Structure 1
Amino acid sequence: METWLLVFLSLSLCVVVNLLLNQKHKKRLPPGPPAVPILGNLLWLRRSFTDLEPLLRDLHARYGPIVTLRIGSRLSIFISDRHLAHKALVENGAAFADRPAPLPATRFISCDQHNITSAPYGSLWRLLRRNLMSETLHNSRVKLFAPARQWVLHVLAAKLHAHGTEKSGAAVMESFQFAMFCLLALMCFGEKLDEESVRAIEAAQRDLLLYGRQLGIFNFVPAISKHLFRNRWSKAMEMRQRQKEIYLPLIRARREHKLKKKETEERFVHSYLDSLLDIELPEEENRNLTEDEIIVLCSEFLNAGTDTTSTALQWIMAELVKHQEVQAKLLEEIEDVVGKEDEEVKEEDLQRMPYNKAVVMEGLRRHPPGHFVLPHAVTEEMTIEGYTIPKDAVVNFLVAEMGRDEEVWEEPLEFKPERFLDGGAGEGVDITGTREIKMMPFGVGRRICPGLGLAMLHLEYFVANLVREFEWKSVEGKEVDLAEKPEFTVVMKNPLRARVIPRRNACN
């Protein structure tokens, strides 16, 4: 009721302007269901936006691979065809590389688009992305954190050893998330944090992300809605303040450490935060980033590397529990490469494990953590498949549907890593989508995920070592349920519980 109240308050102010603007769009837009002025297709949708994917699947079956929805006053276009996605994101990449302006309710979360994810396509975005790619995600830098990955592996193995043999099995997702967050926090802040500190940062991050769903009401006449629902707005501000209180001591300690040029055994040579402290913004009189902007960028780094990787890892391990023959074949490859006595599958060993890579690739194809890319905005009017894509339209792409295209993948809903080996449809697949798109779990084009290489390394490393260390089996009487549920990523509706049995007598 509260949403409709604010919608109708704004209706009288906007209807005339909307009708005048609609006169400009006489060109052929992609097809879609009938829309109501101002309200768009909201009356037709009637359900939560978490139901958007099945609704879009029905729309694409009815209207074709490119459809239009009006979500409020915004024109949103959804593309499910891999050829059209390539034409848009690769062949016309610059035109589709912008981001929509943030809604009023979420502007404060991105510090007015001062992060890589939401920054407009331009100089600020290039500067922030180049800094991340060259200073933290460059191969030479990533190698510096090999000891950190080994440390986190031991932390994760210890947690699984503690609960994995119970009859009810271990709820592994929480352990995966904690381990990945430990690793990303170390890469971000440059030091090992104790469990209490990691838990505090993780809780502040997740609470603010999840509460963001409650803020949509403020997109309708913010000046009014902030008064009507001031308690809700105050709670969001309190969460933001809590995040700042946790981050600021870490930022200020690292700044002091850099100024004194001290190094200790507990501090790594480089961190993402170090690079942020050095950034100057040329178009803003070479000023440094503010503390609020640094918090937003660190938050983005932690979110992007934790939830997506831990979600993908859970899906892959669920498939290995479900398909014991795949797990056995993977273990055979691991033992052929590293033997049975080595304590760890090292990063250099991964290059000699094609089946391990195939397992990871099949997991990403079958269960991409995000079923949509982040929305793109069009910087100039474009024509695709005979349809007009107006300037400033919001365009999105159905990642999961492209990875399950029956024209490319035989039995696309089955988990078959062999399809990425010799003679399979996925042999030599270009995951960046530069040549063609067969799957795009990291997006493609100019806004492709900059952490692609790091994510693949982490998945291959942890999958291999978790299979090396443990036998993964289902809980007696319970089948693995592959039903999906959208959260920040698309997770298992019923999180994986597995019996995790050590292959050796003691934890290494």
Structure 2
Amino acid sequence: MVAETLHPSRVRLFSPARAWVRRVLVDKLREAGDPLGNGAVVMEAFRYAMFCLLVLMCFGERLDEPAVRAIAAAQRDWLAFVAKNPSVFAFWPALTRRLFRRRLQAGLDARRRQKELFVPLINDRRDRKKQLSESAAAAATAATKKDTTFEHAYVDTLLDLRLPNEEDGHDRALTDDEMANLCSEFLTAGTDTTSTALQWIMAELVKNPSIQAKLHAEIESTCNNDDDHDEVTEDDTHAMPYLKAVVLEGLRRHPPAHFLLTHKAGEDVEVGGYTIPKGAAVNFTVAEMGWDAREWDRPMEFVPERFLPGGEGDGVDVTGSREIRMMPFGAGRRICAGLGVAMLHLEYFVANLVREFEWKEVPGHEVDLTETQEFTTVMKKPLRPILVPRRNQTTPTPH
């Protein structure tokens, strides 16, 4: 995944996909607008758009809305099972599998549904791969067969993998079950985290209109105030230091995951005067690191300027290679594999959403930054802003 699908050269291949999803998201937000001025609930649109993008990156196919929503529903069912039940079945499995057989069946049904949806898409890529390898003519036909089919997909890399087979000593391909499970992980890792971070950042921009105005000015300056400049591109975002500062401050103040996956000490070790014994479970308090008053001035305030040159966060490395003052993606060898693409998606969508709309607070219904825990740490009261179009509306995009 890291060497192929998430490599920068591969990620650039998905720029048409990002542009399509941007148009889908803008259309969804326009549809969600309330003519009575009560604001639009935007999180559902964020989740749907991110899911469209991750499904396309996974399977290499631009699917219609019913197909995307069917995959999203199957993913939700599986995550609901995983969130509630694994510890039950880990205790005395021979007994709990019998006592809670209905729960177990629900999990098996969720996996079966995923496979029903994923395997036909995997087979389409398998057939395409076979066509591309047969002849140049077939390759040209396959490459131009459908304008919804993309050159690269995560599934392509899974089809190329070979695992050692201990029984006969020959390498084997991944099974359909294994590929379906890996596709499920791919979709899970990149959807809720990004849509959650996007909602928190946009909530802060609604709550802080002066910051939003400063960001909008940078975007328009970079795009030369040109309405024909259809989108803020990935190359455009490279020239926007304040945009990067806004995203970093959003991740510092509102990391989607307040804890990383639990680690375990491999040996006895001293940390800050405490002995961590070998085998002890270790949790990293990601949010509290970013809110540490010993490291950050006014840590609970949203101040993107701290990440500009000369600010206290100037040069902060979110990978933790030099020092760790915030670690929204973890650090070290177990750092999030999707760090680069997550930052790209956040910068791209924040910039385009601010360019497309002015995000305003609903009078009498101020933004509430109270948190609640779901799969990620989300807003307890979902963001519901008034969206004022800044540019001429375009024809709605087919979903």
Normalised to the residue count of structure 1, the TM-score between the two structures is 0.72
| Matching of residue 150 in structure 1 with residue 35 in structure 2 | no
Code of the aligned partner of 2:351: A
Code of the aligned partner of 1:293: E
| Matching of residue 159 in structure 1 with residue 28 in structure 2 | yes
Q: 3-state DSSP class of the match of 1:379? A: coil
| Matching of residue 266 in structure 1 with residue 148 in structure 2 | yes
| Matching of residue 419 in structure 1 with residue 288 in structure 2 | no
Q: 1:186 aligns with which of 42, 45, 56?
A: 56
**Equivalent residues in 2 for 1:19-34, closer than 5 Å:** none
Q: Distance in 1 between matches of 2:38 and 2:181?
A: 39
Q: Distance in 2 between matches of 1:257 and 1:235?
A: 34
Code of the aligned partner of 2:313: G
Tell me what 1:338 maps to: 223
Q: Distance in 2 between matches of 1:353 and 1:451?
A: 21
Code of the aligned partner of 1:263: A
**Equivalent residues in 2 for 1:428-443, closer than 5 Å:** 428-443=315-330
Tell me what 2:136 maps to: none
Contact 2:307 2:315 in 1 (8 A): yes
| Matching of residue 173 in structure 1 with residue 43 in structure 2 | yes
Tell me what 1:278 maps to: 160
Contact 2:32 2:42 in 1 (8 A): no
Q: 3-state DSSP class of the match of 1:170? A: coil
Contact 1:161 1:507 in 2 (8 A): no
**Equivalent residues in 2 for 1:197-236, closer than 5 Å:** 197-215=67-85, 216-236=87-107
1:207: Cα distance to partner?
A: 1.4
Tell me what 1:491 maps to: 378
1:405: Cα distance to partner?
A: 0.7
Tell me what 2:290 maps to: 403
Tell me what 1:134 maps to: 3
Spell out, residue by residue over 1:19-38, the C-alpha distance to the aligned partner (whole angstroms, 9 max, x if none).
Answer: xxxxxxxxxxxxxxxxxxxx
Contact 1:442 1:449 in 2 (8 A): yes
| Matching of residue 308 in structure 1 with residue 308 in structure 2 | no
CA change 1:151–1:400 in 2 (3 A) is same
1:365: Cα distance to partner?
A: 0.2
Tell me what 2:350 maps to: 463
Tell me what 1:108 maps to: none
Q: Distance in 1 between matches of 2:113 and 2:300?
A: 43
1:214: Cα distance to partner?
A: 2.8
Contact 1:311 1:369 in 2 (8 A): yes
Code of the aligned partner of 1:339: N
1:386: Cα distance to partner?
A: 4.4
Equivalent residues, number: 377
Contact 2:205 2:212 in 1 (8 A): yes
Contact 2:60 2:153 in 1 (8 A): yes
**Equivalent residues in 2 for 1:82-101, closer than 5 Å:** none
Worse-matched range after superposition: 461-470 or 248-257:
248-257
Q: Distance in 2 between matches of 1:192 and 1:507?
A: 21
Q: Distance in 2 between matches of 1:296 and 1:306?
A: 16
Spell out, residue by residue over 1:331-364, the C-alpha distance to the aligned partner (whole angstroms, 9 max, x if none).
Answer: 1111111022222111111111000110000000
1:283: Cα distance to partner?
A: 6.7
Worse-matched range after superposition: 461-470 or 292-301:
292-301
1:165: Cα distance to partner?
A: 4.7
Worse-matched range after superposition: 303-312 or 212-221:
212-221
Q: Distance in 2 between matches of 1:488 and 1:477?
A: 30
**Equivalent residues in 2 for 1:102-113, closer than 5 Å:** none
Moved over 6 A (4+): none
CA change 1:136–1:270 in 2 (3 A) is same
Q: Distance in 1 between matches of 2:295 and 2:267?
A: 32
Q: 3-state DSSP class of the match of 2:2? A: helix
Q: Distance in 1 between matches of 2:38 and 2:107?
A: 37
Contact 1:157 1:507 in 2 (8 A): no
Contact 1:331 1:467 in 2 (8 A): yes
1:307: Cα distance to partner?
A: 0.7
Contact 1:370 1:399 in 2 (8 A): yes
CA change 1:146–1:406 in 2 (3 A) is same
| Matching of residue 290 in structure 1 with residue 170 in structure 2 | no
1:236: Cα distance to partner?
A: 1.5
Q: 3-state DSSP class of the match of 1:501? A: strand
Contact 1:164 1:501 in 2 (8 A): no
Q: Distance in 1 between matches of 2:41 and 2:176?
A: 37
| Matching of residue 393 in structure 1 with residue 280 in structure 2 | yes
Runs of 5+ consecutive residues of structure 2 not aligned to the other structure: 133-141
CA change 1:429–1:373 in 2 (3 A) is same
1:488: Cα distance to partner?
A: 0.8
1:385: Cα distance to partner?
A: 3.6
Q: 3-state DSSP class of the match of 1:191? A: coil
Code of the aligned partner of 1:278: D
Q: 3-state DSSP class of the match of 2:3? A: helix
Contact 1:409 1:425 in 2 (8 A): yes
Contact 1:165 1:501 in 2 (8 A): no
Worse-matched range after superposition: 380-389 or 425-434:
380-389
1:161: Cα distance to partner?
A: 1.4
Tell me what 1:250 maps to: 121
Worse-matched range after superposition: 232-241 or 314-323:
232-241
Spell out, residue by residue over 1:181-210, the C-alpha distance to the aligned partner (whole angstroms, 9 max, x if none).
Answer: 101111110110111110011111111102
| Matching of residue 480 in structure 1 with residue 350 in structure 2 | no
Q: Distance in 2 between matches of 1:163 and 1:385?
A: 50
| Matching of residue 299 in structure 1 with residue 184 in structure 2 | yes
| Matching of residue 353 in structure 1 with residue 240 in structure 2 | yes
Q: Distance in 2 between matches of 1:410 and 1:386?
A: 26
Q: 3-state DSSP class of the match of 2:62? A: coil
Q: Provide the identity percentage.
A: 61
Normalised to the residue count of structure 2, the TM-score between the two structures is 0.91
Q: 3-state DSSP class of the match of 2:252? A: helix
Q: Distance in 1 between matches of 2:153 and 2:280?
A: 37
Runs of 5+ consecutive residues of structure 1 not aligned to the other structure: 1-131
Q: Distance in 1 between matches of 2:382 and 2:77?
A: 19
